[in-house]
Amino acid sequence: MQRTWNSPLGQALCIITGASRGFGREAATQISRLVSPGSVLILVARSEDDLRTLQAELTESKAGKAGLVVRYVAADLGLMEGVESVVKASKEASSDNIEHLILINNAASLGDVSRFTREFTDMAEVNSYLSLNVSSSLCLTSSVLQAFPQRPRLQRTVVNISSLCALKPFPSWVLYCTGKAARDMMFKVLAEEEPTLRVLNYAPGPMDTHMQDEARVKTADLNVRKSFTRMAANGLLLSCEESCAKLMKLLRENTYESGAHIDVYDV
């Protein structure tokens, strides 16, 4: 790969889900500065308006002006059509010059943290959660890997935005913990199967986002809620920018063990 000091990720095709806000938005912004001109960014989320705004910003940015192509796909990744539309857009925007495929599985939801495990009797609710947070990332990743198969001079990187919750149970967070634990395992299996792929489970830490706000307000477990409130009050929440910079460092250095779970505080 033609990595240069100012384009360490080379000529890349980057697909980022949940790109409309929070960590996903930050990832799109930071990655745009690390790829060489002629690279392609595919922004995916459900909210078309937010995606359009971000696309405009990035197109106007230094990277955009230097030739970064920015496209967006408003899609529901829980549906096969949604996954297909992302793959289609990626294939259309791609070219033979692409030497690095980067897929960042970031889209996620918190689930209802105002209830305890014994209150989850609604199958439709749990199914809907697993569909969005587990199934869709599996199907999107598979489809993208099928569309961009392994070939010489193409590095393929798959990132799973994970969490401490993938490793540690949090009272009143059953859906989120279950989904994150499922995803970590899923991507570990992928890493085992495909030694040519670079697979990273990245836990970004507690960040100052809408998701965090929701967690602070809604969490049923008193201890968990108190610790989030304390973190916010003591300025211990990370900005998306800080955490994302660590992810970018990991991608730039590219020395992580494929399939590993790396936490922001490990970097």
For residue 156, the minimal CB distance to another protein (Å) is 11
Residue of 145, 231, 232, 267 interacting with another protein (CB under 8 A) = 145
122 binds another protein (CB under 8 A): yes
263 binds another protein (CB under 8 A): no
Q: How far apart are CA 167 and CA 103, in angstroms?
A: 23
265 binds another protein (CB under 8 A): no
Residue 188: both structure tokens together = 């570990």
Least spacing, CB of residue 105 vs another protein, in Å: 13
Q: Contact with another protein (CB under 8 A): which of 23, 72, 170, 256? A: 170
Where does this chain touch another protein (CB under 8 A) — which range of 20-28, 101-109, 164-172, 240-248? 164-172
Smaller CB separation from another protein, 52 or 218: 218
114: contact with another protein by CB under 8 A: no
Q: Are 51 and 20 in contact (CB under 8 A)?
A: yes
Q: Which of 192, 213, 253, 266 binds another protein (CB under 8 A)?
A: 192
> Is residue 164 a contact point for another protein (CB under 8 A)?
no
Per-residue interface string for the shown chain with another protein, residues 209-248, x marking contact by CB under 8 A: ------------x---------------------------
